[in-house]
């Protein structure tokens, strides 16, 4: 997409918005935005500013800001802000092994989850019985 006149630049944002709208109408709820659409959003943000693009598409401002900064081509909006740890791709869960020797002993641990949109879940366990963390974490990741 090439930017030119004000009308042409506005048309770029409208075309991008139409692609996002089409995807949103056909997606299954909870499906992450595809990489191709994030790439389009970054391209548009580099021409039109992060704030304008995030409103037009609409996508998360901070997620888009981070992607633009990661591309090494900061837009006007991205300058001076700290990096925000959010990503359009759902991170793969990491396997954590709890040795069997600790199961009977009192356990004290802290588990934290954070979604790309900024939602956080913090579980602090102080018990000899470990709750079903897989069910809790699954419910958190699948929630909107």
Distance, CA of 34 to chain centre: 11
pLDDT value for 85: 44
The full set of domain ranges for the chain reads: 6-70, 100-142
User: Taken in order 25, 69, 112, 36, is the CA torsion positive or negative?
Assistant: positive
Q: Averaged over 68-94, what is the pLDDT?
A: 53
pLDDT value for 77: 43
Q: Which residue has the tokens 């419910």?
A: 139
| Of 61 and 94, the one with more pLDDT | 61
> At residue 56, does pLDDT exceed 50?
yes
pLDDT value for 7: 65
Looking at the chain, the whole-number percentage of residues with pLDDT higher than 90 is: 2
> At residue 119, does pLDDT exceed 80?
yes
Provide the pLDDT confidence category of residue 126 given band limits of 50, 70 and 90. confident
pLDDT value for 121: 86
Separation between Cα atoms, residue 21 and residue 140, nearest integer Å: 26
Q: What is the pLDDT of residues 4-34, one digit of tens each?
A: 556 667 888 899 989 989 988 888 888 888 8
Q: Please spell the DSSP secondary structure of the chain, one letter per residue.
A: ----SHHHHHHHHHHHHHHHHHHHHHSPTTPPPPHHHHHHHHHHHHHH-HHHHHHHTT--HHHHHHHHHHTT---TTTTTPPP----SSPPPPPP----GGGSSS-EEEEEEEE-TTS-EEEEEEEESS---HHHHHHHHHH--
- Structure tokens that stand for 46 in this block: 């580099």
């Amino acid at each position: 997409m090439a930017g030119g006149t004000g009308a042409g630049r506005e048309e770029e944002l409208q075309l991008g918005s139409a692609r996002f709208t089409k995807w949103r109408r056909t997606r299954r709820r909870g499906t992450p935005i595809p990489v191709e659409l994030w790439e389009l959003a970054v391209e548009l943000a580099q021409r039109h500013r992060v704030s304008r693009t995030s409103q037009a598409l609409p996508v998360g401002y901070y997620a888009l800001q981070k992607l633009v900064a990661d591309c090494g081509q900061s837009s006007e909006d991205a300058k001076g802000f700290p990096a925000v740890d959010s990503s359009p791709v759902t991170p793969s869960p990491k396997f954590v092994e709890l040795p069997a020797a600790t199961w009977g002993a009192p356990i004290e641990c802290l588990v934290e989850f954070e979604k790309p949109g900024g939602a956080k879940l913090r579980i602090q366990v102080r018990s000899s019985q470990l709750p079903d963390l897989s069910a809790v974490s699954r419910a958190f990741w699948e929630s909107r």
